[in-house]
Structures are given as structure tokens and as C-alpha cells.
Chain A
Amino acid sequence: MKKILAIALAVVMVMALAVPAFAADEIVIGVFEPLSGDNGAGGKQETLGIQYANSVTPTVEVGGTTYDVKLVVADNESSNDKAVSAATQLVASGASIVLGSYGSGVSIAASDTFGDAGIPVIGVTCTNPQVTEGNDHYFRICFLDPFQGTVQANFAHDELGATKAYCLGQLGNDYDQGLINYYTQAAEALGMEVTAESFPEGNSDFTSYLTNAKNAGAEVIFAPCSISYAQLIVEQAASQGIDVPITAPDTWDSNVVMEAVQGTDLDVYCTTFYAEGGDPDFEEGFKAYLNSDDTALANNGGNDMIAAVSVMGYDAYYTALEAIKAAGSTDPADVMAALPGTTYTGVSGAIAFDEIGDAIRDSAFIKQANTETGVWDFVAAQTVAEAEAE
């Protein structure tokens, strides 16, 4: 036993030392995403966007030298306690900049690890205000929860004409609870009545919650939760014959949810970062990429529908390249210094950062699930100005 252990240890130690060997002209971009756990599905789609961008533009020119861009993916397992070691892995891999993550909790948890190492991070779809607050290294290219909550409440009030809303989120999930909080604030300011409930983790029976919504006389159900729960809620709402609209945030913008909605009588809306048809060239290329690779297709949920998070991943990659070019160096410190001034016009719109490090981005798209064709139909684009003015 002792000998075997000793040999195994020796082998592994040597490997640990041998792994981070660098090729001469290579720049590492870290990808910090959940590939398993509750947010695994979304994280995989976001990673696909980054990988596709990398396959389109695999090199970057810095100070006259062409560098190969190497993606190093670390799985944070959707879990805050695993996030730190995944982040350390990226730091150890010598990343110049890191992209991610899907889900704000893991981003906040790993933030200090990146900060201490002086590596800048571009948050792709982490929407919690706390991610970029009070630090210099975390940037983000998507909109924020207070904005999204307000947009949702306004939409329910103005477009759906609802006066009573029912919110359902997962207990112990800060994303769900945060959005419910902002939604409630905005909705109550509009004179709406809000009932909020939480379900415990691992719950799969939502019928009683939906009955509660019905009994409360809700005219709209707001359900900010991860994709796996979304699927169950949709399924049970359909079999219970729920006839009020269900609105949801960016997490629901996924073909996995769409599949569940298709063929039902439900009225499902979500706010998101990108509406289909925004950039036909990108869509064509990305679909071809998905269809050429079985694993990629499986990671996208089995079909080639484009999720908004993939688009955001794609844009994040190019924003990172822009920052590296502007820095004229592969040193993380230089890249970080260059990031605040970086601008890029991506598939999802123009990207620039404000003084906190958040994207100056003033529009969210609202989409409705088409239950017959199984695609998301564009409803409206709502901007911050509108949301605040109302």
C-alpha cells in the first residue's frame, strides 16, 4: 500500500510540474464556467460561444507578433466552494485574461482569487451588481439584475396589464432571490401586488406552488430559476392548465426550456441579451460550427438553436482580444489597464465599460415562446431610459 501510494504520488507530482509548459507565442485566455451542476446547461452554451469565436479567430497580433490564443477551461461546478480552486487552476495556467462566469455566485466567490493574482476578468452573463462592485479587475458585458427586474415588472404591468404577480424562486439561490427582490420593488412601485415563494433545492413537485399562484389570483407568474427547474415548472404548468403568462429572466432563454414549452398552451416570456436574426452571418457560422461537432451539438442541448448566452460568450472573447490588442502586451496587468477604455461592437450590440466596470448597455430584449414553431419570437426591446422613465 505504502509503495503504491508513494509511486502514484511521485508520478502525479511530476505531471503537475510538467503540465504548464508554454509554447513560445501563445496567449492563454481562461474560461471560468460551470460545466456541471445546476447551471451546467447554460455554462456549456456560453462556453460554446467562446470556443466558436476561438475557432473563427484563433490568433491575435500583439506588438507585431502573432500569438496563438489557447483557451483553458475550468469547471466551477456551479458551486461556490469549488469556484476558488477552479479559479486557482486558471491563475496557475498563466491566463492573461479570464472570461466568465454564467451565474453570479461563482463569480463573486472567485473574484478575490483573480484579483489577488492581478488577472482581469470579463463577466459574460453574471448579472448580480455585487460582481463588479468594489473591485478593479472584474468587468462585465451584460445588463444587471436591478435593470432586468425593473424591465420585467414594467412589462408585466404595461404590456400584460397585470396587477397581481406571483414570484417563485429557489431557496438558497442568490440569483433567484435577488431578482425577486428587485422585481418586487419595481412592481410595488407600480402599484402591483406581489406574492413571493421559494422552493427548496432538489424540489421537483411544483404543482402546489402553481396552485398557490392560482389561489392568490396572480395574473402573471415570475419565475427566475435555473434551467432544470424551468423545465419542470413549464411541464407542470402545462398539465395543470395554467392560463396566466409566465415571465422569466435570461436563464430561460434556452432551447431546453423551449422544448418543454413547445406544444403546450402556455404563454411564456423571457428577457434576454440577444434576439434571433440580429446578425445572420454569425448565426449561420455558429450553426455550421455546432452541426460539425457532435459533442458541441450535445452540449448545446441536442439542436442548433442559438442561446443568447452563446452570443454573449462570443462577444466576450472578441472584447478580450480587443483589450489585449489595446494593451499591446500579454501581461495581465497591461490588459487590465487597457480594459476600461476598450470598446467593441459585437453581435449583441455595442460594448463599453463605465467606471464600475459594467457594460454601458441600455437594452434588453423581450421574447415570447412560440408554442407551435418552437422558437422564441421577438416582442420588444426595452431600454434603461424607458424602464426608468416609466
Chain B
Amino acid sequence: MLDSLTALFAPDGPLGLLALSPPGWGGNLLLGLWHSMQIAVGAYALGLSIGIVGAYGKLYGNEVVRDIFALYTTVVRAVPELILILILYYAGTDMINQVLLSAGFDRWAPSRLLIGTVVLGVVMGAYMTEVLRGAILAVPQGQIEAARAYGMSPLLLARRITFPQMMMNAIGGMANLWLNATKDTALLAVIGLNELTLTTKQAAGTTKAFMLFFIAAMVIYMIVSVVSGRLFAAIERWARKGQPTLGGGGV
């Protein structure tokens, strides 16, 4: 069994090009996947932080705060991600550098990985804001009023009342956003970040085995999607414990 597997990935075997060591490109693909996952996790964490601030800002902020977040979510959700990535990549670093230079500092050349993560995080943040805002709105008003009547501080209220009750409504949207985050990392190929999709294209172009590498990348992305779908389905079951069950969850 193991022998036939090694034979499959031997340099002259049918899948030799996918072997982990240099004649094969498997190692590069996995490195690309590692970059993709780093970006996805980082962007998701950043998006979640922006989303929490944004959702509370949009619901409880004053007029200026509400308007700023409304502008942010509207623009980000109306403009294609590809273009946002380019705008934030070129214009964003350019602006930061202009400020730095005028203040007498050196130019700042952050790694593509960092920029990609931040850019995708800003995009995720807009969607996350809407998901969390909807979930908070679905918490029965009486629950929050009762907590206020008990004299809970806003932070305690958020932690004990709002958060546990909004989670079950938010998890579905958050799962979708995580899947989007993993897939949107592919867009960073256009700014030359060697994540999975760009690595695949390079490997395919070099070896001319186009279909082999594209199908391999598809399988990798599918595995990521299916595994995270299962994971979020489990989280949703946990968040919904004691609630009537819904169907679905997972890819």
C-alpha cells in the first residue's frame, strides 16, 4: 500500500510532479497553502475586530460614528475586492510613505504578506460589521433592557447577555465569511503574492502540466472548505445548544 503510494509520487510516476522534494512542486504548493492560510487567518481576525467595533458603532454610536461606518460598509461592499486590493495596495502604501517621508522617516516597505492580510482584513471587516449588526439586532430587546435594569455595565452586558445570544445568529454568516476569506486570498495573486493560486499557475506554466496542477489546487481548496465547513457546523451546534435545531451547516 505504502509502496504503491511512493511509486505514485516517484519522479517518473504519474504524480511525480506533485512530489514534495524539488523535482516535484508539492512542497511549493504546500508553502503556497501555508501563505494562504496565514493571510486568511490574519485577515479574518482583523475583520472580526473591525466587525465588532463597527457593529457596536453602527448600533450605539453617535451620528458621526454611524455615518463613517455606513460609508465604510457601503463603499467596500459595492466595489469589487480586486479593485479594493489594488487601491489599498498602491494608494495605501503610497499614502503611508508620503506621511512618513514628510515627517522625516525612511520609506516603509512592508512585506506583501502583511499588506495582503491588512487589505483583506479591511474588506472582511465591512462584511463582518453587517453580519454582527444583524445578529445583535436579533437579540430580543427585553433581554438587553432587563440587563440594563439590573445595572450591568455595558461591557458585562455585552459579555454575558448580548454575546452568547447573538452567537447562534452570527455563526452562519461568520462561516460564510471564513470561506470567503480562504477563497479571496486567491485574489492576492494579482499583486504577486505567492499564495496557492499563483504558485499553482507558476508550477503549471513551468512544467506545462496545466490540468494536473489546477486540479491538485482545486482538491486542496476543497479540502480546506470541507474541513472548515465541518468545523463551523460543530461550532454552530455548540452555539445553538438548547435551541431548536436547524438543518444545514457545512459544505
Binding partners A and B? no
